[in-house]
A and B are shown apart, each in its own frame.
Chain A
Amino acid sequence: MFEYCADPETLTGLTWLSCYLTNGKHLLFYQSFGVVLALLAVTAPVSLAFGFVGAMAARSTFPPFSLFGKLYTSIVRGVPDIAFFLFFVIALDQAVEYLRHQAKCPDWDMPVRQGSDFVVCDAAKMPLSTSPQWVHETYGFTLAVLTFAIVFGAFAANVLFGAMRSVPRPQLETAEAYGFSPRQTFWRILVPQMWVYALPGLSNLWMILIKATPLLFLLGVEDIVYWARELGGSKNARFSDYPHGDWRMFYFGALLVFYLLLTRISEIVLDRLMGRLTLGQATAGGEAQRKAPA
């Protein structure tokens, strides 16, 4: 990156370090922090949407919907979620390929599962083997986002279901007395009021989501954990311009600091948000704010 980096062997001390930390692979490493933040930015709203649908289903009066909703909210609780991550990433991939296989190759006569192999016709491969590298990467990332959203959606559904039940019952009864239809009561009375009850649970979930991002590595995305292992491993002078010993400890130390910072910043922001939301509310928190000396 810098001009004096042309010949790394002659460098020492800080100049060596400045060149080392700005070489091509390190720039990829820094980009992967962006991948993590992008995952957070995409997953949070998607899983909130999943959670919302799940909570609505669980509240439904139509038995199959409510059964599905209740099952969805409770299933991720008894089992380690890492098992779900490993499961869904293959299961989703196979489901997509199977559906494409059914649609594109109707006259294929062999079974899809042959012993230990999962065989679909070439046209149904996802992504196509001819497609460029970025399609593969995007597909992998999309699968990861979906997997995260399914698992966290279940938790969000649980939180939102609880929040919907915490909205004082008289509010809904008043709406009904004024002749609101159930749909209107739900959208105009229940949903606007539930957020203050949901926020503690949702902020807890956000913290969990932050701490789940390293698992991207298990889903095959080249994330910060992948690069920290890659860059930290000892480098031989024959294969690298910047030979060094086993520095993985320092790389993972840096990741530890990154996550601690992310947690701290989130805590501060969420505290402020909670303060905003409780302002003027008829809850213990709102009352405390009112009584606090200005």
Chain B
Amino acid sequence: MSCWETIADYGLRSVGIGERLLPRSDFTLCQQVTLIGSGMIWNIYFGLVALAAGFFLSISVAMGKASKNPLARKASEWFIFLFRGSPLFIQFFFAYFAFLSLKSVHPAFDLFTSAWLGAAIVLFLNTSAYAGEIFFGALKSIPKGDLEAADAYGITGWHRFRRITFPTMLRLAWPAYTNEAIFLFHATTLVFFSGFPAWQQRGDALYYANYFADKTFNPFVPYPILAGFFILLTLSVIGVFGLVNAHLTRHLPAERRQKIRFRPRQLIR
């Protein structure tokens, strides 16, 4: 069987298109690369969904933590502490079993026990807490002069937030937020190891890498393949976020632009 046939059979296996049975013996390099690459679809899906939805919640959480209203402040602080203070792995387990218990209350919760929705919700909340803390830090370090200038021009309320606070906050937070995005993509590999079942063996990249390592008892092929895919993903995230960063800082002189630097902030959450 040529490699093109393998790609046609297994290229979309992780979403249920193509050959139903996974290869069982005589694994070729092509099969491993194709299936692990096919699993990356899930990693990208989870990362994008959580990132897109989490962006809005995290800004709300940051605003809540910075607000004068004690109720909003306490709620945001507890939300951040709850999700940053406990391992993501345990959060996945807890959420899965919680949804499983709720299923007996109402059948609508059946959907939540499948990874595509349940795990996406956990990741969404988790990244909102981490990014919320990042945005809160940025909110606190907005130069005083910017806000005073806005006051002097009579810019207030929503208008001030929209034109002054939000763009500056976003610009200051962007390098740290890039990091958070990278680790979010890394964290998506935990999904199928934490209770959420891979229905009909439709798993993510690590699920397939682990499958091959178990079957061949040789970790030296599938895991480096997985590493290669993730390095590519990390580089593309840095590329895309770098473009946004260039857009956000386009009005600044070159030496005041913050570079995006990749640093290990929180790997397993």
A contact set with B: CB distance below 8 Å? 76-83, 86-87, 90-91, 94, 113, 116-118, 155, 158, 204, 207-208, 210-215, 218, 225, 228-229, 232, 246, 248-249, 252-253, 255-256, 259-260, 263-264
Contacts and interface: CB of A to CB of B under 8 A. Distances in A.
Contact of A260 (B81, B230, B231): B81
A171 to B, nearest CB: 25
Contacts of B129: none
Nearest to B100: A246
Interface string B75-103: 00000011001111111011001101100
Contact of B93 (A82, A118, A252): A252
A118 B214 CA distance: 12
Contacts of A81: 186, 267-268
A264 B85 contact: yes
B244 interface: no
A258 B223 CA distance: 32
Contact of B90 (A94, A158, A259): A259
11 contacts: A78-B234, A82-B268, A87-B223, A211-B87, A211-B89, A225-B89, A225-B93, A228-B93, A259-B85, A259-B90, A260-B86
A38 to B, nearest CB: 18
A34 to B, nearest CB: 18
A78 B231 contact: yes
Contact of A249 (B94, B223, B263, B265): B94
B230 A80 contact: yes
Interface string B188-203: 0110010000000000
Contacts of A113: 218
B156 interface: no
B268 A232 contact: no
A218 B85 contact: no
A228 B89 CA distance: 13
Nearest to A119: B217
Given A82-B189, A83-B227, A246-B101, A155 B86 contact: no
Given A82-B268, A90-B213, A118 B218 contact: yes
Q: Which of A87, A210, A263 has the largest number of chain B CB atoms within 10 A?
A: A87
A1 B90 CA distance: 30
A232 B97 contact: yes
Contacts of A263: 85-86
A213 to B, nearest CB: 7
Binding site secondary structure of chain A: helix
B50 interface: no
Given A80-B187, A81-B268, A82-B268, A214 B90 contact: yes
Contact of A80 (B206, B262, B263): B206
A252 to B, nearest CB: 4
A249 B213 contact: no
A204 B206 contact: no
Nearest to B265: A204
A100 to B, nearest CB: 17
Interface string B154-194: 00000000000000000000000000000000110110010
Nearest to A256: B86
A289 to B, nearest CB: 21
A206 to B, nearest CB: 12
B209 interface: yes
Contacts of A204: 265-266
A83 B223 contact: yes
Nearest to A224: B90
Contacts of B266: 204, 207-208, 211
A215 B269 CA distance: 11
Contact of A83 (B81, B89, B218, B230): B230
Contacts of B217: 90, 116-118
A260 B158 CA distance: 36
Contact of B82 (A77, A80, A218, A260): A260
A155 B88 CA distance: 19
A259 B86 contact: yes
A218 B193 CA distance: 8
Contacts of B220: 91
Given A78-B227, A225-B90, 4 more contacts: A79-B226, A83-B226, A211-B88, A255-B90
B258 to A, nearest CB: 18
Contact of A77 (B86, B190, B262, B269): B262
